[in-house]
C-alpha cells in the first residue's frame, strides 16, 4: 500500500492509464458479450416449440385455449401466444402483443408491459378486449409481478414491486391496484382500504398487499403483509374493506367453484432460498393440505380445471409451466417449456 | 515528501492567512478522495439502480422481506464505523483502513455474478455496507487533515458534491448498458466491478499515506487508544456538538418517509415516485459547495442550524393545506438544502473539536450518534404514523425539530470553530 518508495507523479499516471485501459477492455467485452447474447435470443433455437404469427383471441370459442407469455427465443419472444389447452406442447400462435405478466377471463385481458425509454424503462398496465385491442392504460410505479381478472371479466387487479429510496437499496414494497372496467374507477392502492386485523381496526405505515384473486366482482382474496407477518385477507371492492382470515398465506388462487384456495406457504425449517411450498386451503373447514410439488414455488397458481393447478418454475429459457393435482395426490409434471403467466380461454 | 503533500501544506498555510487569498485551492488530497468517492458511487449506484429489476425480472424472486434486514444493516454499519474510526487512528493508518473498506466493497461486485438467491445477495450487500462503514470515518479524517481548518466547510462541500455526482451518474451508466444488452445484468455487474477497482486504484495511487496523518498526530501528542477515543466525550466542545447532532437527528425523519408523505399528500403520480430522490440529490449537488464556503465564513453552527430550518420549512410545506404546482419541487429543494447545509458542515465542525490523532474516531463518534438518532426517529415516526396518521406524526416531528433547533441555538456548540 503506502509502504516502500513512493512513485513519482508521472509513474502514477502511467499505472492509472494502463489500469484504465485494461479495465475498459474488460468492461467493453462484457457489454459486447451481453449484447451478443441478447441478439441470439432473437434467433429461434433448434428443437424449440414451433411458433408462427397468427390470430389470437380471448373470446369464447369452440376450442379451449391456453394464452401465455412465450419465452422461447426467436422473433416472437415475450409475445402473448396460444396453444390448444389439450396439447400444450403443440405449435404456438403468437399475437404480436408483448407482456411481462398477463391474465385473462371472459374476454378481458390484463397485460403488464415494459416501455423502453431513452434512459430508463417504465411500466404500464394495459386492459385488453377480446381481440387484444387496448381499452385503457395505466402507468405503473414499479416492476410488475401479479395480474388477475374477475371471472366475469369486469374487475382487473395487478401488483408491482416498488423500491423508493435510492440510498437504501434493500427496502422493497408492493402496490396492488384494482380497476373496474365498467366505470374505469381505479383503486390505485389497496393500502387505502380499511383493514380489520384479527377482529380489530388496524392501520400501519408498513402495510403491503399483493396477489389478488377474485371470487366475483366484489369479493376477493389477497395477501396482506404487516409487522413481519403475512395474512390471507378477504376483501370487498365495493366497500373498500379487507379483513384477515389466517396467517402465512401468500398469493392465493381461488378454485373455479370458489370453495378452495391454493397458495404458497412459508414452511419453517426450509432453506431461506426456497421457503415456500404449495398448499390447498378448504374455505369451509379451514383445513390445509400440502400439494405433491416438493419444490419451492414463488408464483400465484392458475386453476386449469376444478382439480388441477398450473404454475411456473425457473427453466432453461427463464420459466417453464408445471402442473399438479390440487388435492395433494399425484406428482408434479412439466407441461410446457419457455412459458409464463398462463390463462385459459374459450371452450 | 509527496508533491501533493507540499502543495497541500502551502494551501493550508495560505488559507490560514486572512484576506482575499483565503479562498485558495482545495488540497489535492481532497480532490483525490472526491474522485475516489465519485468513481465508487458510480459503481455502487449502478447496482442499486438495477437490483430490483434483476431480482424480479432476472431471477424471478420476490424481494419482499429483504427490507426487513435494513434495520440490522443500519445498526451493524454504525458499529463498523466506530471500529473503522478507531483502527484508522491507532497507527495513523487512515489510508490503509480506507483501502480495506473500498476494497471490500469492490470485491462484492463480482460476487453478485455468482450468487443467485436472496439470502446470499443479502449477505453480499451486508459485506458491501461493512466496507462502506469502515471507510467513511478515515476518509473524512483524511479530508480534514489534508485541508486548513478555515477551509474545512469547503473541502467537505467539494467532496460531497463529487460523491453525489457519482451517485447521479451510476444509474445512467447502468441503463445505457441495459439499452445495449437487454437483460445484461452480468455486464452491469462486470462494469461496476471495473469501476470499483478503478476507485481503489485512484485511492492507492493518488491519496498520500501515513506521512500526512502521522505529521498531524505528532503535533498534538495524543495517543490513539480506545480509552483516548472514549475520553473524547469528556471534551466539552465535542460533547456539545455530539449532543446537538443527536438532538437534531432525533427530529429528522428518514428520506423514504419524506418521499412517502410527499407522494401521499400531493398525489405525485406513481411513475414519478422513484425520481423523487433525484430532486433531493440535485439540490444537494448544486448547494453543497456554496453552503460549505458559507459555513467557513459565517460559522458552521449557523449554517448547520440553517439547514435544519430548511428541513423545518420542508416539513411545513408538507403540512400546509394549500396546494400549488411547484410545491413538491420546493419540498425537494429544501430537503436537498438541508443535506447540503448539514452533511459536510457537521464533519467540518467536528473536525475543529477533535485533535488530529483522534480525528477518525471523533468523526465516527459524531456520525454514529447522528445515525442512531435518525434511526430512532424513523422507528418512532413509523409507529406514530401507524397510530395517528402521517399528518399528526409529521406535525409532532416538526414541533420536536423546532424545540431541538432552539436548544442547539442556545448551546451554540461550534461557535469557536473558525
Count H helices, E strands: chain B?
16, 0
Rounded Cα–Cα distance for residues B392 and B386 (Å): 10
Contact between B201 and A141 using a beta-carbon 8 Å cutoff? no
Residues of chain B found within 8 Å of residue A142, distances taken between Cβ atoms? 52, 270, 274
Q: A10-19, A67-76, B46-55, B287-296: which range is least confident on average?
A: B46-55
Rounded Cα–Cα distance for residues A159 and B63 (Å): 13
In 10 A of CB B278, how many CB atoms?
Answer: 16
Contact between B118 and A168 using a beta-carbon 8 Å cutoff? no
Report the chain A residue with the minimal C-alpha distance to residue B264. Answer: A192
Q: Would you say B213 and B207 are in contact if contact means Cβ atoms under 8 Å apart?
A: no
- Confidence class of residue A47 from pLDDT cuts 50, 70 and 90? confident
> Does residue A97 carry a pLDDT above 50?
yes
Average pLDDT along chain B? 85
What confidence tens digit (pLDDT) does each residue in B166-196 have? 999 999 999 999 999 988 999 999 999 999 9
> Does residue A37 carry a pLDDT above 80?
yes
ipTM of model: 0.85
Report the chain A residue with the minimal C-alpha distance to residue B173. Answer: A119
Residue spans per domain, chain B = 2-212+228-412
Contact between A2 and B63 using a beta-carbon 8 Å cutoff? no
> Does residue A7 carry a pLDDT above 80?
no
What integer pLDDT is reported at residue A113 of this predicted model?
Answer: 96
What integer pLDDT is reported at residue B6 of this predicted model?
Answer: 35
For the ranges A259-263, B48-52, B356-360, B406-410, the one whose mean pLDDT is highest: A259-263
Chain centroid to CA B298: 22
Dihedral Cα B226, B99, B77, B358, nearest 10 deg: 30
Strand partners, A234: A221, A243
> Does residue A217 carry a pLDDT above 60?
yes
Rounded Cα–Cα distance for residues A211 and A250 (Å): 7
Q: Would you say A242 and A235 are in contact if contact means Cβ atoms under 8 Å apart?
A: yes
Q: A22-31, A107-116, B178-187, B226-235: which range is least confident on average?
A: B226-235
What integer pLDDT is reported at residue B417 of this predicted model?
Answer: 42
In 10 A of CB A132, how many CB atoms?
Answer: 20
Residues of chain A found within 8 Å of residue B181, distances taken between Cβ atoms? 31, 34-35, 37-38
Rounded to whole angstroms, what are the CA distances from A307 to A325, B270, B272? 6, 39, 43
What confidence tens digit (pLDDT) does each residue in A122-158 have? 899 999 999 999 999 999 988 899 999 999 999 999 9
- Confidence class of residue B7 from pLDDT cuts 50, 70 and 90? very low
Q: Which three cell numbers stand for residue A282?
A: 378448504
> What's the average model confidence in pLDDT over A61-66?
90
> Does residue B219 carry a pLDDT above 50?
no
Name residues whose C-beta falls within 8 Å of residue B179's C-beta, 6 or more positions apart in sequence.
A116
Residues of chain A found within 8 Å of residue B198, distances taken between Cβ atoms? 19-20, 23
Residue of B64, B254, B377 to mutate for A, most A C-beta atoms under 10 A: B64
Contact between B66 and A206 using a beta-carbon 8 Å cutoff? no
Rounded Cα–Cα distance for residues A96 and A80 (Å): 7
List the CATH number of the domain containing A186. 2.120.10.30
Which phi and psi (to 5°) does residue B406 adopt? Answer: -60, -45
Dihedral Cα B142, B146, B147, B153, nearest 10 deg: -10
What integer pLDDT is reported at residue B314 of this predicted model?
Answer: 96
Q: What is the Cβ-side half-sphere exposure of residue A258, based on CA atoms within 13 angstroms?
A: 9
- The residue range of the domain holding A318 is 103-345
Q: Which residues 68-97 of A have a C-beta within 8 angstroms of B?
A: none
Considering only CB atoms, A205 lies closest to which of B61, B66, B386, namely B386
Rounded Cα–Cα distance for residues A338 and B2 (Å): 61
Look up the CATH number of domain B2-212+228-412. Answer: 1.20.1250.20
Rounded to whole angstroms, what are the CA distances from A11 to A16, A17, A18? 9, 10, 10
What confidence tens digit (pLDDT) does each residue in B90-141 have? 888 999 999 999 999 999 999 999 998 888 888 888 899 899 999 999 999 9
Whether pTM > 0.90 for this model: the answer is no
What confidence tens digit (pLDDT) does each residue in A199-209 have? 999 988 788 99
Rounded Cα–Cα distance for residues B403 and A129 (Å): 58
A83–chain B nearest CA distance, Å: 24
- Confidence class of residue B2 from pLDDT cuts 50, 70 and 90? very low
What SS3 state is found at A261? strand
Contact between A120 and B171 using a beta-carbon 8 Å cutoff? yes
Q: Would you say B26 and A124 are in contact if contact means Cβ atoms under 8 Å apart?
A: no
Q: Would you say A42 and A75 are in contact if contact means Cβ atoms under 8 Å apart?
A: yes
For the ranges A114-118, A324-328, B90-94, the one whose mean pLDDT is highest: A324-328
Report the chain B residue with the minimal C-alpha distance to residue A230. Answer: B65
B309–chain A nearest CA distance, Å: 23
What integer pLDDT is reported at residue A121 of this predicted model?
Answer: 81
What integer pLDDT is reported at residue A171 of this predicted model?
Answer: 63
Residue A275 sits at the chain B interface (C-beta within 8 Å):
no
Residue A21 resides in a domain: no
H helices present in B181-267, as ranges: 185-206, 210-220, 226-231, 236-249, 255-266
> What's the average model confidence in pLDDT over A314-322?
91
> Does residue A270 carry a pLDDT above 70?
yes
Rounded to whole angstroms, what are the CA distances from B91 to B85, B86, B95, B145, B217? 11, 9, 11, 15, 9
Number of structural domains chain A divides into: 1
Residue A179 resides in a domain: yes
What integer pLDDT is reported at residue B251 of this predicted model?
Answer: 93
> Does residue B300 carry a pLDDT above 70?
yes
What integer pLDDT is reported at residue B360 of this predicted model?
Answer: 94
Eight-state DSSP code of residue A290? E
Answer with the residue of higher pLDDT: A45 or B87: B87
Rounded Cα–Cα distance for residues A124 and A114 (Å): 6
> What's the average model confidence in pLDDT over A77-102?
95
Name residues whose C-beta falls within 8 Å of residue B96's C-beta, 6 or more positions apart in sequence.
A1, A2, B88, B209
In 10 A of CB A127, how many CB atoms?
Answer: 19
What confidence tens digit (pLDDT) does each residue in B56-67 have? 888 877 776 555
> Does residue B415 carry a pLDDT above 60?
no
What integer pLDDT is reported at residue A292 of this predicted model?
Answer: 97
Amino acid at each position: 500500500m503506502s509502504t516502500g518508495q513512493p512513485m513519482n507523479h508521472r509513474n502514477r499516471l502511467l499505472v492509472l492509464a494502463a489500469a484504465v485501459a485494461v479495465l475498459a477492455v474488460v468492461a467493453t467485452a462484457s457489454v459486447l458479450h451481453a449484447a451478443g447474447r441478447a441478439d441470439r435470443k432473437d434467433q429461434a433455437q433448434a428443437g424449440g416449440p414451433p411458433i408462427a404469427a397468427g390470430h389470437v383471441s380471448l373470446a369464447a370459442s369452440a376450442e379451449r385455449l391456453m394464452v401465455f407469455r412465450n419465452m422461447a427465443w426467436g422473433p416472437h419472444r415475450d409475445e402473448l401466444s396460444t396453444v390448444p389447452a389439450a396439447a400444450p406442447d403443440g405449435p404456438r400462435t403468437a399475437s404480436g402483443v408483448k407482456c411481462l405478466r398477463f391474465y385473462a377471463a371472459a374476454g378481458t385481458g390484463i397485460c403488464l408491459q415494459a416501455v423502453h425509454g431513452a434512459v430508463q424503462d417504465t411500466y404500464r398496465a394495459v386492459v385488453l378486449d377480446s381481440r387484444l385491442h387496448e381499452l385503457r392504460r395505466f402507468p405503473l410505479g414499479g416492476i410488475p409481478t401479479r395480474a388477475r381478472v374477475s371471472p366475469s371479466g369486469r374487475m382487473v387487479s395487478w401488483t408491482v414491486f416498488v423500491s423508493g429510496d435510492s440510498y437504501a437499496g434493500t427496502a422493497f414494497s408492493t402496490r396492488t391496484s384494482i380497476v373496474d372496467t365498467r366505470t374505469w374507477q381505479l383503486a390505485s392502492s389497496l393500502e387505502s382500504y380499511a383493514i380489520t386485523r384479527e377482529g380489530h381496526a388496524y392501520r400501519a405505515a408498513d402495510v403491503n398487499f399483493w396477489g389478488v384473486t377474485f371470487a366475483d366482482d366484489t369479493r376477493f382474496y389477497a395477501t396482506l403483509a404487516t409487522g413481519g407477518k403475512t395474512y390471507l385477507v378477504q376483501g370487498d371492492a365495493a366497500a373498500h374493506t379487507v379483513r384477515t382470515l389466517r396467517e402465512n398465506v401468500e398469493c392465493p388462487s381461488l378454485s373455479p367453484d370458489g370453495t378452495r384456495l391454493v397458495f404458497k406457504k412459508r414452511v419453517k425449517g426450509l432453506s431461506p432460498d426456497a421457503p415456500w411450498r404449495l398448499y390447498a386451503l378448504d374455505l369451509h373447514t379451514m383445513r390445509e393440505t400440502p400439494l405433491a410439488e416438493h419444490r419451492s414455488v414463488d408464483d400465484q397458481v392458475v386453476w386449469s380445471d376444478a382439480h388441477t393447478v398450473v404454475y411456473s418454475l425457473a427453466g432453461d429459457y427463464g420459466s417453464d409451466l408445471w402442473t399438479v393435482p390440487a388435492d395433494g395426490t399425484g406428482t408434479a409434471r412439466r407441461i410446457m417449456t419457455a412459458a409464463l403467466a398462463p390463462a385459459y380461454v374459450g371452450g | 515528501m509527496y508533491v501533493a503533500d507540499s502543495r497541500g501544506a502551502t494551501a493550508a498555510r495560505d488559507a490560514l492567512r486572512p484576506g482575499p487569498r483565503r479562498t485558495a485551492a482545495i488540497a489535492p488530497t481532497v480532490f483525490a478522495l472526491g474522485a475516489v468517492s465519485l468513481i465508487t458511487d458510480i459503481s455502487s449506484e449502478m447496482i442499486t439502480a438495477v437490483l430490483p429489476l434483476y431480482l424480479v425480472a432476472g431471477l424471478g424472486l420476490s424481494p419482499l422481506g429483504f427490507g426487513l434486514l435494513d434495520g440490522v444493516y443500519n445498526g451493524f454499519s454504525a458499529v463498523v464505523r466506530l471500529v473503522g474510526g478507531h483502527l484508522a487512528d491507532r497507527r495513523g493508518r487512515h489510508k490503509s483502513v480506507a483501502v480495506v473498506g473500498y476494497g471490500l466493497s469492490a470485491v462484492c461486485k463480482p460476487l453478485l455474478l455468482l450468487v443467485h438467491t436472496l439470502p446470499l445477495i443479502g449477505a453480499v450487500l451486508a459485506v458491501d455496507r461493512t466496507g462502506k462503514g469502515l471507510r467513511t470515518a478515515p476518509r473524512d479524517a483524511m479530508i480534514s487533515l489534508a485541508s486548513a481548518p478555515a477551509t474545512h466547510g469547503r473541502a467537505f462541500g467539494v467532496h460531497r458534491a463529487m460523491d453525489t455526482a457519482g451517485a447521479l451518474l451510476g444509474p445512467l451508466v447502468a441503463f445505457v448498458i441495459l439499452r445495449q444488452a437487454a437483460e445484461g445484468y452480468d455486464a452491469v455487474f462486470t462494469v461496476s466491478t471495473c469501476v470499483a477497482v478503478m476507485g481503489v486504484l485512484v485511492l492507492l495511487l493518488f491519496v498520500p499515506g501515513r506521512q500526512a496523518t502521522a505529521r498531524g498526530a505528532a503535533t498534538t501528542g495524543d495517543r490513539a487508544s480506545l480509552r483516548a477515543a472514549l475520553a473524547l466525550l469528556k471534551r466539552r466542545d465535542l460533547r456539545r456538538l455530539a449532543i446537538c447532532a443527536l438532538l437534531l437527528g432525533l427530529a429528522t425523519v428518514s428520506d423514504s418517509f419524506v418521499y412517502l408523505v410527499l407522494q401521499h399528500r400531493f398525489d405525485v403520480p406513481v411513475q414519478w415516485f422513484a425520481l423523487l430522490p433525484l430532486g433531493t440529490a440535485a439540490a444537494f449537488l448544486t448547494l453543497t459547495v456554496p453552503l460549505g464556503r458559507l459555513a467557513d465564513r459565517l460559522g458552521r453552527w449557523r449554517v448547520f442550524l440553517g439547514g435544519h430550518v430548511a428541513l423545518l420549512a420542508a416539513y411545513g410545506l408538507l403540512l400546509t393545506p394549500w396546494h400549488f404546482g411547484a410545491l413538491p419541487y420546493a419540498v425537494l429543494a429544501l430537503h436537498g438544502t438541508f443535506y447540503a447545509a448539514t452533511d459536510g458542515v457537521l464533519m467540518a465542525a467536528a473536525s475543529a473539536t477533535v485533535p488530529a490523532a483522534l480525528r477518525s474516531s471523533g468523526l465516527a463518534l459524531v456520525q454514529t450518534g447522528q445515525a442512531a438518532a435518525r434511526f430512532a426517529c424513523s422507528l418512532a415516526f413509523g409507529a406514530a404514523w401507524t397510530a395517528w396518521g402521517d399528518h399528526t406524526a409529521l406535525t409532532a416531528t416538526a414541533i420536536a425539530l423546532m424545540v431541538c433547533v432552539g436548544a442547539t441555538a442556545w448551546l451554540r456548540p461550534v461557535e469557536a470553530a473558525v
